[in-house]
A = this chain, B = another copy of it.
Amino acid sequence: MPADTTSLDLDALEAAHADLRARGLALDLTRGKPSPDQLALSDRLDGILSGTYRHDGTDLRNYGGIDGLPTAKRLGAMLMDVPADAVLVGGNASLEMMFHAMLVGTHFGWDGPGSAWTTRPSVKVLCPVPGYDRHFTVSERLGHEMIPVPMGDDGPDMDVVESIVADDPDVAAMWLVPKHSNPTGAICSDEVVARVAELGNRARRGFRVIWDNAYAVHDLTPEPILMASLWAACEAAGTTESVIHVASTSKITFAGAGLSFLAAGPETLATLRQHLSAVTIGPDKVNQQRHVMLLPDIDALRAHMVRHAELIAPKVDATVAALERGLTGLARWTTPTGGYFVSLWTPPGLATEVVGLAADAGVRLTPAGAAFPLGHDPEDSHIRLAPSFPTLDEVRLAMEVVVTCVRLAIARQRASRDGTGEAVQPGPT
């Protein structure tokens, strides 16, 4: 029986919330972690080598090979839609690759020490919001001034991006998850891809886009969703050096024991290779070969991702269905075609309260504001829902709590505004 989406009886909602609290739930929708079922899809990894530690004349066990195995570079190239010779293979965290890329720009410079971003009055970095909290943490750590840019359904608002880049020579970089973005599920349109490629011609020398394609093949649709190639667009625009492409197998194989990949134009790549050569003797080639054997070609990769989708899609569907049943007309949300997240916007000023109410009822949500630089959502409206890790039943239960908490927060707000005549609106459009 669908909930009544028009009635917001405060007493009834307080009572419902009290009932939920009394159930002693312990559910968690905080992080985009693969579920055990998803991880099990790659359980063949340990032992897949069958004792064969040589490949193409390379002893996988020994030191060396800062670029990674040629076969692993091809796997990365397949994920990132770039040429294999532009790829470096890293450890289990693409975040670390991004940290090093941002560190090089910030402290070492793409064209020698004199070009380090810290030689400018300030280092400004464009942050599409809502965005990925760990990007913002890297920028915070490196002392960047983060400039929020609105994220739309087809990528960042490029009018805003272009205008800031044109006006402010201190703009040094932009973070971006281009496909099934964290957390809104946005997919950059062909036009946005072309305009991102053009940024290298508009921005000051040294500008870099961190194109974090974390969900490149993580579609929930029957057919793969193909994006325009940013690499090709950059080649056409003559801006290959202006983008650093990143991806990983964290949400393909083992979240904590996969491979990361970085790709860039020849000069940027040489600078990064030189930097990484001072930092490490080389990546784990044994684990690279495991991954190449598990995912030898695009067909194997696609088939593997279909199995992931079969496990995630019902949870995303349950999340969206709960929102539709309980919050239609009261809030808005995304219906992602891939990735790991559903974004929910409460009426302004309620996100923190909803997260607190859910915690009281035993459902952990990502802190309100987490998808914004320094954790500050100016509307206090956005909540990131991450339904991949819990079981389907847990997702349904958790979403019942979330919906009740949003409705309760709205009812409380309305009650406190009673007589002011203020209208309550869903969050920013």
Contact = CB atoms under 8 A, between A and B. Distances in A.
Q: How many copies does the complex hold?
A: 2
A145 to B, nearest CB: 15
A400 to B, nearest CB: 26
A95 B51 CA distance: 28
Contact of A95 (B141, B280, B283): B280
A257 B48 CA distance: 15
Contacts of A51: 43, 46-47
> Which of the four size classes fits the interface of chain A?
35 or more
A383 to B, nearest CB: 21
A237 interface: no
A53 B43 contact: yes
A46 B49 contact: yes
B63 A255 contact: yes
Interface in A282-297: 282-287, 290
Nearest to A279: B99
Interface stretch (A54-62, A147-155, A326-334): A54-62
Interface in A29-73: 31, 33-34, 36, 39, 42-43, 45-51, 53, 59-65
18 contacts: A31-B63, A33-B63, A33-B64, A39-B53, A39-B59, A46-B47, A46-B53, A47-B49, A61-B256, A63-B250, A95-B279, A99-B279, A134-B278, A141-B275, A250-B281, A255-B281, A256-B284, A284-B284
Interface of A: 31, 33-34, 36, 39, 42-43, 45-51, 53, 59-65, 91-93, 95-96, 99, 103, 107-108, 134, 137-138, 140-141, 250, 254-257, 275, 278-287, 290
